[in-house]
Amino acid sequence: MSLTADDFQSIQKFLLENSAVRLASGKEYLVEGRLQAIVYKEDLEDLHALINEVKKNPNSGLSKQVLEAMLTNETSFFRDRHPFETLKTAIIPALLKNPDQQIRIWSAACSSGQEPYSLALLLADSFSWIEKPKIKIVATDISASMLEKCQSGLYTQFEILRGLPPHYLPRFFERADSQWKIKKEIRDRIEFRYLNLYEQWEGLLPMDIVFIRNVLIYFNSDVKMAILEKIRTVLKPGGYLFLGSGETPDGFEKYFESTDFSTSSCYKLTLP
């Protein structure tokens, strides 16, 4: 049985209330494609039965599975390349001029971890002489299953082939059956934790660099503005904000100045 208009609206509402993610009309195929596997796994009658369960108990483990299945986790190592070049050639060397301060980088909405691991690999490769506590990387996401994968550090050959420079593989990964496991020395450079961007942000120290890429596109403009406002308070004055290519800090141009770092989608928080 395919999705009814009511079922679709219930999923739209559930997703919006729990993650702020908007699901546009016409995306019924996405709900069917992503939730059918849960129907089989949980031995439910059909999608309608699954959505009824979610409506009855939106906080259950089953509802969490539904939420996670509806989120888009697309990512890759060194995605868009330019942000990482900019960090390596300009931003990290500039921040290192202050010997006393810890450099803090936040990868918000880190999905399966390729973004924060790219940051950690860049540091291990190009700044190996820096003592590890000097640079701290925090990576967060709303999805418990994505965070579990991040912590495992396990990637398939297909995931490795998407963006990882080939010479990093023997240096920083080891074989784990049919997959590759990122070495502990790299995993230890990152603190992974749950954070819903739509809720209060707790326990974040002032950041020098925030990567929040390819997630604001899923939110409506009010939520996006509220998140940009919170980033303004988390970033140190003069700190750097990286958005996804094509994303812009609409309404916040006064605070986030465009930089001339090529095509990096990098903005600098203005000094007060």
Ligand X SMILES: C[S@@+](CC[C@H](N)C(=O)[O-])C[C@H]1O[C@@H](n2cnc3c(N)ncnc32)[C@H](O)[C@@H]1O
Applying CB under 6 A, the residues found at the interface with ligand X are 19-21, 71-75, 79, 109-111, 115, 141-143, 146, 196-198, 213-215, 218, 244
DSSP tag of 106: E
Shorter beta-carbon distance to ligand X: residue 12 or 111: 111
Q: Phi-psi category of 20—alpha, beta or left, where left has phi over 0 and alpha has psi -120 to 50? A: left
Distance in Å, CB of 101 to ligand X, minimum: 25
Distance in Å, CB of 48 to ligand X, minimum: 25
Beta bridge partners of 190: 137
**Nearest-angstrom CA–CA distance, 117 and 10:** 36
Shorter beta-carbon distance to ligand X: residue 79 or 104: 79
Distance in Å, CB of 148 to ligand X, minimum: 12
**Nearest-angstrom CA–CA distance, 227 and 217:** 12
Shorter beta-carbon distance to ligand X: residue 213 or 224: 213
Distance in Å, CB of 227 to ligand X, minimum: 9
Mapping DSSP onto H, E and C, the string for 26-67 reads: CCHHHHHHHHHHHHHHCCCCCHHHHHHHHHHCCCCHHHHHHH
Residue (of 115, 146, 161, 117) closest to 19 by Cα position: 146
Shorter beta-carbon distance to ligand X: residue 75 or 264: 75
Shorter beta-carbon distance to ligand X: residue 5 or 244: 244
Distance in Å, CB of 157 to ligand X, minimum: 19
Residue owning tokens 């934790």: 193
